Structure 1
Amino acid sequence: MPITRRHLLATAPALMAPALLSHAGGARAADGALTVGLIPSEDSRAMIANSQAMMDMLSRSLGMPVKPFVAADYNGVIEALRSRRLDVAYLGPFSYVLGASVANIEAFAVAETKKAGRTNYHSLIVAHKDSGIRTLADLKGRSFAFVDPTSTSGHLFPKAGLLKAGFDPDKAFGRVIFSGSHDSNAVAVQNRKIDAVAIADRILDSAIAKGQARREDLVVVWKSDPIPESPTVWRKDLDPQLKKRVQAAFLEVKDIPWSDQGLLNGFHPTNDAAYDVIRETARVLKLDLRGMK
């Protein structure tokens, strides 16, 4: 399956989290309200209701009304940022890099959940201990499961890692499948239905906690560099004073439910350079970010 901008934006790892947008200029600024948009991962009315704690906290910090708005998808968010109809957005790591290649935007904050306790995660290649696989070279001729063609930690990062190690995943494996989910990969490698799999470390931890896999039965063959979590971004041309207020407001948000990712510890400052690891991965995979449609 070809990797396109639409595929990457539509299936970015942050897809199930709220996409936060503000509008600080134009007609909406006249009524003194900050408009916050949401990418729906559920019924739009339920999404708005579930985001109310976030809206209330931002409103108190900014000292102005904050109103939710449900957006259609990441493609619409990027286009709205580019056309200056939106000012702030929450994007996935790859969708941010794609957006930054066509729009004048910059990352300024990143969320940390209580469950993760950090603002990054890793992609792993894992095999069953009884498979005899201990190194990437041992994968030659074996069966392998990625997650989805557009999964950051379930395909793009492990594929780039294999290529950088001199292992051609398009030719060297005996059989390659896309399982469709990280959980499926955990179960498949535990039950020796597949020789080795790609999986996010936090999802492997969750699968082990749920009894789907046993850590003592598995061998980590490869581990990626840290992958930054999804950033909150703003248009670079926003008023500097507004940027300070918006970032301060986000950094005060904490201890509320964060979509399907659990309780939010809080936001931390970040910057564009933190996502250079995403750009490097795109270069290894020869993804033309500007040319994607």
Structure 2
Amino acid sequence: MSKFSRRQVIGSLFATSMLFAAGSSFAQQQVLRVSAIPDEAPTELQRKFKPLGAYLEKKTGMKVEFTPVTDYAASVEGLINHKLDMVWFGGFTFVQAKVRSKDQIIPLVQREEDEKFKSVFITTSPSINKLEDLKGKTFTFGSESSTSGHLMPRYYLLAAKLNPDTDMKRIAFSGAHDATVAAVAGGKVDAGALNISVWEKLVSQNKVDTKQVRVFYTTPGYFDYNWSVRADMPAELRKKITDAFLALNANDPADKEILELQRATRFIPTKAENYKSIEGAAQNAGLLK
């Protein structure tokens, strides 16, 4: 082999090794950066994640850090821009991330409850008993990017031939499900819509007076939350994380605590195709940009 050709080979090998190193940087990192859409207070999200984070550390062999984000959009951008590695998305935020990344976001698991998730409409007004009664009233959604707090409630309002932007007196966005309950209970708005899971949790914790605030409409079921990662996450790590979630067993006391904090009976595999109807609803409502 000539000296010149040997240099070429060495250069080629060096370039290849640099590309490989760049491509395998994910596998070499020691920290799994996790976040969640801020659909509840930051302190509550941290509390819910703490035992799950410790569990994932044992199962993956990596340090797991929970990083709160300021809003729903930040969770999408954080995952796409490699600032986060795994995010708890709602159905709509998953669709936004999938579209923004050109299908480079993969949903791994969802709670069994997320196969048929629901939203509830609440009020303190005795004159509001069906969706059509919201005409001319004040109303609050949760976050603009929330599936259960905005997208699906809007979808069912439109199906009832009620356009919230033109048929209601005023609409607002509370930013979170618990904030929606507070706004309705405090008389800031006539009614609001939120995630059924948060509603049931607040009721069970006696944080809402059901003699004052009541549910007057519950939506049909739809696919919602999931844990998502980027497609560049090594398959081996994806499998470790997926297997860890699927292994959670309510008969084990430690696992039961994790599942209860996640408001889950168990986790099951999911796939992008499950969220086609969410994507369609977002497009029909003009919310997918």
The two structures share one fold, judged by TM-score above 0.5: yes
Residues 203-282 of structure 1: pairs in structure 2 closer than 5 A: 203-209=198-204, 210-214=206-210, 218-235=214-231, 239=235, 244=239, 246-254=241-249, 255=255, 258=258, 261-262=261-262, 265-282=265-282
The 2-side partners of 1:48 and 1:147 are apart by 21
Code of the residue aligned with 1:26 in structure 2: it is S
TM-score (norm 1): 0.66
- 1:45-124 aligned within 5 A: 53-59=54-60, 65-69=61-65, 74=75, 75-80=77-82, 89-93=86-90, 94-101=92-99, 102-103=101-102, 104-111=104-111, 120-124=116-120
Change (3 A) 1:192 1:69: closer
Are the aligned partners of 1:256 and 1:264 in contact in 2 as well (CA < 8 Å)?
Answer: no
Q: Classify the secondary structure of the residue corresponding to 1:162.
A: helix
Relative to structure 1, the CA distance from residue 136 to residue 58 in structure 2 (aligned partners, 3 Å threshold; closer, same or farther) is: same
Structure-2 change in CA distance of 1:266 and 1:35 (3 Å): farther
Letter in 2 for 1:275: Y
In structure 2, what is the Cα distance between the partners aligned to 1:260 and 1:249? 16
Contact 1:107 1:272 in 2 (8 A): yes
Name the residue aligned to 1:175. 170
Aligned in 2, Cα 1:47/1:37: closer, same or farther, shift over 3 Å? farther
CA distance, structure 1, for counterparts of residue 115 and residue 225 of structure 2: 5
Cα deviations by residue, 1:42-62 (Å, 9 ceiling, x for unpaired): 6xx999976652234313xxx
Distance 2:263 2:198 in 1: 16
TM-score, normalising length: structure 2? 0.66
Instruction: Tell me, yes or no, if the aligned pair for 1:122 and 1:226 is still in contact at 8 Å.
Output: yes
Q: Structure 1 residue runs of 4+, over 6 Å off?
A: 45-49
Distance in 2 of aligned mates of 1:188 and 1:28: 43
* 1:37 maps to which of 29, 33, 36: 33
User: C-alpha separation between the residues in 2 aligned to 1:142 and 1:126?
Assistant: 13
Q: Name 2:9's counterpart in structure 1.
A: none
Q: Give yes or no for contact 2:116–2:223 (8 Å, CA) kept in 1.
A: yes
1:162 aligned residue: 157
Change (3 A) 1:37 1:259: farther
Partner AA of 1:95 in structure 2? T
Identity of aligned residues (%): 25
Structure 2 distance, partners of 1:99, 1:126, is 30
- What is the CA–CA distance in structure 1 between the aligned matches of 2:274 and 2:137, rounded to whole Å? 35
Q: Tell whether the 8 Å contact from 1:257 to 1:264 is kept in structure 2 after alignment.
A: no
Amino acid aligned to 1:221: Y
Change (3 A) 1:202 1:51: closer
Cα distance in 1 between the residues matched to 2:263 and 2:143: 27
Matched with 1:12 is none
User: What is the alpha-carbon distance in structure 1 between the residues aligned to residue 64 and residue 186 of structure 2?
Assistant: 45
The count of residues paired between Structure 1 and Structure 2 equals 247
Q: Distance in 1 between matches of 2:282 and 2:135?
A: 24
Structure 2, unaligned stretches of length 5 or more? Answer: 1-21, 37-41, 250-254
Deviation at 1:39, TM superposition (A): 2.9
Task: Supply the distance in 2 between the matched residues of 1:229 and 1:287 (Cα, whole angstroms).
Answer: 18
Coordinate RMSD, CA, aligned:
4.0
- Post-superposition offset of 1:220: 1.9
Partner amino acid for 1:107? Answer: P
Contact 2:118–2:218 at 8 Å: present in 1 too? no
Give the residue type in structure 2 aligned to 1:90.
V
